[in-house]
Amino acid sequence: MTGFDAIIARDQRIEPRDRMPDAYRATMVRQIAQHAHSEIIGMQPEGRWITRAPSLRRKAILLAKVQDEAGHGLYLYAAAETLGADRADLTAKLISGAQKYSSIFNYPSLTFADVGVIGWLVDGAAICNQVPLCRTSYGPYARAMIRICKEESFHQRQGYELLMRMTRGTPEQREMVQEAVDRWWWPSLMMFGPPDAESPNTARSMAWKIKRHTNDELRQRFVDMSVPQADALGVRLPDPELRWNEERGHYDFGEVDWAEFRRVIGGEGPCNAERIAVRRSAHEEGAWVREAAEAHAAKRAGRAA
């Protein structure tokens, strides 16, 4: 058994200096880069509510959360660079559509209740998906996940706390929360990826211990976690087939609209064009900062030489 296979078999970490199959390197760059893209694009739905937050406290919380997402993105781009990826190249691939970001961020955030529901459901789904990644076989990715997961739990809690207040508020606030849950529930289930039977990457990612659970297993874990939380909030999840299955020890739930999922990841979601346009203009308007940093670094290097 070669070095790489032996390290995987012993459940140890692959480190940047280790020899690894080209396909392992390529799929790690793919997953880490798209995870990073998701964090960066994910700043947009909530970012638009920072200036509209209903109180200074809510504004401060949201500002901290959105800043965290930016940091997660930079952390993950740094992990991708340990595999030889170039950050500028990854950004170009995101903007050109050559690489993906999570489908969930292609939905609009229409009211401030969305901020709470995104925290509760989207960051909750992210936690389900990311905690196992703390044990992923690629060392820098696993280590990045430890800090990211700690911050995600703050993200999920602040969202849930906002919803606890709103669902105990006025009838209009309760209605805003229910309307947001109706819009975000099914897209949150799509975050875990296609069904295992239609996932081209899962089998190999499980064999290389990149993934510790399959898409369907984590989706089920998220549903099982969310139903009691919805009950505590007093909101209804928009799935008439949702019911506890004593025999399985899990909640049965309805079929995800995979045609919608394919449309959204194919670029036809409600906000795809807007999300990329905002990312592109931020990149172009920030060119002067990159040029100034490079000029400064060159000057310092010149002095040091």
Which chain residues interact with ligand 3HC by CB under 6 A?
30-31, 34-35, 38-39, 42, 69, 100, 102-103, 122-123, 126, 129, 190-194, 199-202, 205, 215, 265
From CA 143, how far away is CA 8, in angstroms rounded? 17
Q: How far is the CB of 49 from ligand 3HC (least distance, A)?
A: 15
Q: How far is the CB of 133 from ligand 3HC (least distance, A)?
A: 6
**What six digits make up the tokens of 69?**
């997402």
Residue with Cβ nearer ligand 3HC (66 or 174): 66
Q: How far is the CB of 81 from ligand 3HC (least distance, A)?
A: 17
Helix axes 22-41, 56-81, angle to 10 degrees: 160
Q: How far is the CB of 199 from ligand 3HC (least distance, A)?
A: 4
The DSSP H or E segment spanning 155 is helix 139-167
Beta strands in the chain (DSSP E): 243-245, 250-252
Residue with Cβ nearer ligand 3HC (174 or 211): 211
- Per the CB < 8 A criterion, the answer to whether 122 and 41 are in contact is no
Amino acid identity for residue 269 in this structure: G
Residue with Cβ nearer ligand 3HC (123 or 239): 123
Q: Exposure of 212 by Cβ count < 10 A (0-12 exposed, 13-18 middle, 19+ buried)?
A: middle
Residue with Cβ nearer ligand 3HC (111 or 159): 159
Tell me which residue has tokens 């207040």: 165
Residue with Cβ nearer ligand 3HC (69 or 239): 69
Residue with Cβ nearer ligand 3HC (174 or 190): 190
Residue with Cβ nearer ligand 3HC (158 or 199): 199
The region, left, alpha or beta by phi > 0 then psi within -120 to 50, assigned to residue 237 is beta
From CA 41, how far away is CA 270, in angstroms rounded? 14
Q: How far is the CB of 287 from ligand 3HC (least distance, A)?
A: 26
Q: How far is the CB of 126 from ligand 3HC (least distance, A)?
A: 4
Q: How far is the CB of 27 from ligand 3HC (least distance, A)?
A: 8
- What do you get for the CA distance between the two ends of the chain, in Å? 47
What phi and psi values does residue 245 have, to the nearest 5 degrees?
-115, 100
- Per the CB < 8 A criterion, the answer to whether 236 and 184 are in contact is no
From CA 290, how far away is CA 274, in angstroms rounded? 24
From CA 45, how far away is CA 252, in angstroms rounded? 30
